[in-house]
A and B are shown apart, each in its own frame.
Chain A
Amino acid sequence: MTDLKVREIKRLAYERPPIRRGYANQTLYVNISDSTISCKPVSEKMKETFVGGKGFDLWLLWNAVNSRTRWDSPENALCIACGPLGGTPIYPGSGKSIVTAISPTTGSVMDSNVGGFFGPYLKFSGFDALEIQGKTDVPTVIFIDGINKQVQVLEVTGLPEGAHEISEVLTNHFGQGKPRNISVVSSGPGAKHTLIGLLNFSWYDPKRSRARLKQAGRGGLGTVFADKGLKAIVARWDTVTLAMNDPADEAALKEVARLHSREIMEQDPKQNQMSMVGTAHLVPIMNDYDLLPTHNFRYGRHPDASKVGMDVYRPLFDKGYDGCWMGCSLACSHGVKDFVPTTGPHAGQKVYVDGPEYETIAGCGSNHGIFDPLHIIEMNFYCDNYGLDSISVGTSIAFAMECFETGLINKTHTGMDLSFGNKASALEIVHQMARGEGFGKMVGQGVRRMKQIFSREYGADRAFMEDIGMEAKGLEFSEYMPKESLAQQGGYGLALKGPQHDEAWLIFLDMVHNFMPTFEQKAEALHWFPLWRTWFGLCGLCKLPWNDVVPADNKQTKEPAKVIQHVEWYTQYFNAVTGKSLVPADLITMSEKVYNFQRILCLKMGYGRREHDAIPYRSMGPVTVDEYESRAERYDKQLKEIYAVDTDGKDTAEKVKTLRKFREERYEQLKDAVYERRGWTHDGIPTLDTVRRLGIDFPEVLDVLQAHGVA
């Protein structure tokens, strides 16, 4: 039993406002340097412009930071928000939070969405968003108690290190016999010693009597949290009801929720079976289409992929309801019960593992040349427990493995054999990240910094590492092979925060279905999809129920990829809660304001221009002769048929070079087309006309644009 010592540093008793049409109409501000706690009003203009969720986060962040703010500056604000629809217990996928801050890996704006109960509990406690500034040396827990209407900054000693244990201990401590009333945000020891730390958000699973975890993984937000001296943020709320969001039209809300839920129940078993296997269903499909990254994205397919496919994980997942928010009928958050790790502090103990999901299977499995399902579960467990992003861990280790195999670094640098396929070494790297020692500490700096260190300290070939290091903007790529899809290269490279697929996942539409053969069509997709997906983050929603299950007749619609029936349902849902009378196109405009505002916030921080949308050549085409020759038929055909190159008599190295020239040109042409469609300059900056049209032409926005030559 952990012996907790809790000392109150500061307390704010507050009046809890009633929720009106999905909004609490105030945000919570905590500065842990001087223990300031205050409530800030939310204006109608703020709702009109930024909607909520990510929009509110970005507005708070804009006002908190200046162009010199670094990720570890005290004024860097960690913001967490839900959204006006968040907390609805009957509509599938309505419990997401969005976290933002200045990222340690990109130096720019990061956003990451996450399930769990925290965002809704924060809102029902009276706050649309939470903004934390400052830094402290004392181990600090922020406790937001919506039931007793008080916020406390607490010094808590005696807390365990690992995220699972912290969540369990604090759930019991603050739950007062009602653990379901608690949600805990925590990181873990890895977050302190690396730049790729994540945040774990808990949701209490009554059937299994345990606090389970979802992750805000990308861009080192857990590292910001740990650097501030935070141990946890805890929200406490009571029973959740439909009426709590004060929907304008409860009957309409019930009806549209019923339609979407019923469709999920009927169609999911026939389609992707998310409620049975979660995103693990993607593994064999990605492999079949040459899209599953293996060996640091060299290849997209491996004969052993079936060993880590959904058929292997299906029987390993613990049976039962796995919705990370109440009433989510897609219920995809599966876990493995009684798993026994073979290494690390939990070796030999039974633990519960949340996951693995597709990204972790690909990132910590195939991309390392490892096809052992139990090894991947162990990597998954320790990444969560240590507060490490399994995508960045996966892609960073894969890069280090390729550097090792190609002789750019060796055992004197790594202290271990880091060949592809070495499971013991992959796990040891993760444990070293948590301990802040050895080569693992270096890998925990992420791919961009490893490239600098390896060339500076070990004389490694910088140009080659720039080609094979799968990062852009400083963020590691998520786990889809984009080489053969120009639209997906744009989906990664033109994403505001860096190469995460949550803005646009276009591989299938582009590469498999060839739905967008022209630059203009690709640009249109790279306009619409990121805006549509942004909308989920504004409202507190999970995107999975939008297109991981679709109506039976969806394929007969004009644009099946948009799942228009669902877009209409989401519009009705938004109107039913907020009382507005919007049409689907209005949702896109809502997102467009926030999307452009985020691009300008990147600009304010010194990023957000064309040069920052560059991607490594490994993501565009074959870097090496081996890669080319592994798919020689495909590449030769393209050179001949698309680019009219006579390949006869050319050696592979020459063909690699020729193909590269064409592909790099194509990516630049794509940038031009997308910038134009988005209403941006040739340098990728929103024009004055664009910001005026969207109503985000505030003086401070115009000042930033002017400083970058847009006036």
Chain B
Amino acid sequence: MVLDEGREFCWREGMTVADLLKELDDPYPYAVVRVNDAVISGPDFEKAAVPRGSEVHLIPLIAGG
């Protein structure tokens, strides 16, 4: 199970950040997702793995500047 802002969902072997977002069915265009201490940006969502038991934060908007 992976925890996101209190939402729980099923984890499966080989799950990527892109898989996770699909599963959440959240239409917001996230630019960055933090998986434990690693910051994953959009271009890497397809290849970044989500290990079992990860703490995931969906970062809503990059403020910057």
Once bound together, how far apart are the Cα atoms of A331 and B63, in whole Å? 16
Question: Inside 8 A of A13's CB, which chain B residues have their CB?
Answer: none
What per-residue 1/0 map shows which CB atoms of B21-62 lie under 8 Å from chain A? 000000011011010010101111000000000000101111
> Closest residue to B28 on the A side, CB-wise?
A555
> Closest residue to B37 on the A side, CB-wise?
A311
Option from A282, A501, A507, A560 in Cβ contact (under 8 Å) with B60: A560
Is A550 an interface residue, CB under 8 A from the partner? yes
Q: Is the interface of A mostly helix, strand, loop or mixed?
A: helix
Looking at A165-173, A183-191, A284-292, the stretch in contact with chain B turns out to be A284-292
Is A583 an interface residue, CB under 8 A from the partner? no
Once bound together, how far apart are the Cα atoms of A599 and B11, in whole Å? 55
Once bound together, how far apart are the Cα atoms of A131 and B57, in whole Å? 47
Once bound together, how far apart are the Cα atoms of A513 and B60, in whole Å? 11
User: Do residues A289 and B43 form an inter-chain contact, with CB atoms below 8 A?
Assistant: yes
Contact (A284, B41) CB under 8 Å given A270-B57, A271-B59, A512-B31: yes
User: Do residues B65 and A285 form an inter-chain contact, with CB atoms below 8 A?
Assistant: no
Q: How many whole Å from B44's CB to the nearest CB in chain A?
A: 6
> Closest residue to A515 on the B side, CB-wise?
B29
Option from B28, B41, B60, B61 in Cβ contact (under 8 Å) with A289: B41
Contact (A552, B42) CB under 8 Å given A272-B59, A285-B31: no
> Closest residue to B58 on the A side, CB-wise?
A555
> Closest residue to B26 on the A side, CB-wise?
A555
> Closest residue to B30 on the A side, CB-wise?
A555
> Closest residue to A544 on the B side, CB-wise?
B63
Q: How many whole Å from B29's CB to the nearest CB in chain A?
A: 5
User: Do residues B57 and A281 form an inter-chain contact, with CB atoms below 8 A?
Assistant: no
Once bound together, how far apart are the Cα atoms of A548 and B29, in whole Å? 17
Contact (A285, B39) CB under 8 Å given A270-B57, A507-B64, A552-B5: yes
Option from A270, A288, A548, A552 in Cβ contact (under 8 Å) with B41: A288
User: Do residues A512 and B42 form an inter-chain contact, with CB atoms below 8 A?
Assistant: yes
| Residues 257 to 299 of chain A near chain B (Cβ within 8 Å) | 270-272, 281-282, 284-286, 288-289
Once bound together, how far apart are the Cα atoms of A502 and B5, in whole Å? 31
> Closest residue to B31 on the A side, CB-wise?
A512
Option from A271, A289, A501 in Cβ contact (under 8 Å) with B42: A289
Q: How many whole Å from A483's CB to the nearest CB in chain B?
A: 16
Is A569 an interface residue, CB under 8 A from the partner? no
Question: Inside 8 A of B62's CB, which chain A residues have their CB?
Answer: 272, 282, 285, 508
Option from B31, B43, B59, B65 in Cβ contact (under 8 Å) with A502: B65
Question: Inside 8 A of A311's CB, which chain B residues have their CB?
Answer: 37
Question: Inside 8 A of A554's CB, which chain B residues have their CB?
Answer: 60-61
Once bound together, how far apart are the Cα atoms of A549 and B60, in whole Å? 9
> Closest residue to A291 on the B side, CB-wise?
B64
Question: Inside 8 A of B41's CB, which chain A residues have their CB?
Answer: 284-285, 288-289
> Closest residue to A529 on the B side, CB-wise?
B65
Hey, which bits of chain A sit against chain B, CB under 8 A? 270-272, 281-282, 284-286, 288-289, 310-311, 478, 480, 501-502, 505, 507-508, 512-513, 544, 547-550, 552, 554-555, 560-561
Interface pairs (17), CB distance under 8 Å: A272-B59, A272-B62, A272-B63, A284-B41, A285-B41, A288-B44, A289-B31, A289-B41, A478-B65, A502-B65, A505-B65, A507-B64, A513-B29, A549-B63, A550-B63, A560-B28, A560-B60
